[in-house]
Amino acid sequence: MPSRRSVLAASLALPFMGACSSTSSSSGTSSGPVQITFWSALRGSQQVVDAYNKSQNRIRVNFQQIPGGDQGLHHNHVVAV
């Protein structure tokens, strides 16, 4: 069971991280939910993403668990920019 702190941190980070990797149609119309990718090294993030995806159908979050530290989260942020 994820700790309360992990769930809180993941739920607070979700809107910020998802906005960084959103995709959209070039025509301005959508044929389905918006797809975003959320990277996290925090425990409990998958459960938060699953609950969010079940709570609505306009935005689909694809979760990718990555290791923390220089080889994980920090590396992905540098490469993504």
Cut 0.85: pTM above it = no
Number of residues assigned to the chain: 81
Q: How confident is the model at residue 39 (pLDDT cuts 50, 70, 90)?
A: confident
Burial degree of 10 (CB within 10 A; 0-12, 13-18, 19+): buried
**Looking at residue 41, what is its pLDDT?**
84
